[in-house]
Amino acid sequence: MEIQVLDKVFVPFISAERIDTRLREIAKQIEADMNGEVPVFIGVLNGSFMVVSDLVKYYEAPCEMSFIKMASYIGTQSTNQVNQLLGLDIDVTDRRIVILEDIVDTGNTLVALKKLFDQHRPKEIRIFTLCLKPEAYKKDIPLDYVAFEIENKFIVGYGMDYDKHGRNLPEIYQIKE
Ligand code: IMP
Ligand code: MG
């Protein structure tokens, strides 16, 4: 069923059931890859709050977790700088960290995150993203866990917003064109 969020119409795109199935699979995969070591999951706010909550419920081995928030500053130039890490409260030095993202689009946020975490000298940085837009992603940071590769269209729901609205939708919707 179509829904309206503010001035835009969206159509159902990825159901709660499909999300659930992929998250169970990936949680098991991460668990195997960690080989008995305890990872630090780091959710990137705000968009990842729902996927983090669901993913870690399927991760059955010990883990630590925290959330961070990236602040974006639009400079005087045309480039959109994303930097500044707010609220990292776990010492990640020599730890295996898994960054949990809602969606990777251009990858600008990811580049900034990687740069910031590298300064803390973790043992390893892995990246999980719920959605990836391969047509838009032009960076060379490898993505270790991608739940869904999607076309380059705007989506909303399951944590992701359209102008701050729609984060509470339990499924993912795509803009109707
Ligand atoms: P990037 O830095 O261009 O990779 O963008 C990443 C961020 O932009 C995501 O974490 C989202 O917050 C936002 N974003 C990108 N595409 C979408 C979309 O289709 N719907 C909602 N938010 C999006
Ligand atoms: Mg995000």
Report DSSP letters for 72-127, one per residue. Answer: EEE-SSS-EEEEEEE---S--TT-EEEEEEEEESSSHHHHHHHHHHHTT--SEEEE
Quick check: is 105 catalytic?
Answer: yes
pTM of the model: 0.94
> With a 6 A CB cut-off, is 102 part of the ligand 1 pocket?
yes
Confidence at residue 89, expressed as pLDDT on a 0 to 100 scale = 86
* From 54, 105, 144, 161, the catalytic residue: 105
Does ligand 1 come within 6 angstroms of the Cβ of 106? Answer: yes
Segment 97-134, tens digit of pLDDT: 999 999 999 999 999 899 889 989 999 999 999 999 99
Model pLDDT, residue 76: 39
Percent of the chain surpassing pLDDT 90: 84
Average pLDDT over residues 3-20: 98
Atom of ligand 1 nearest to the CA of 47: 12
Nearest to 129 by CA among 142, 117, 146: 146
Nearest protein Cα to ligand 1, atom 9 = 103
- What pLDDT sits at residue 26? 98
Ligand 1 centroid distance, CA of 67 (Å): 17
Pocket of ligand 1, candidates 103, 127, 141, 153: which has the most ligand atoms within 8 Å of its Cβ, to mutate? 103
Q: Report how far apart, in Å, the C-alpha atoms of 23 and of each of 46, 105, 137 are.
A: 19, 20, 22
Please say whether the beta carbons of 166 and 149 come within 8 A. no
Is a pLDDT exceeding 90 seen at residue 5?
A: yes
Query: What does the pLDDT read at residue 71?
Result: 67
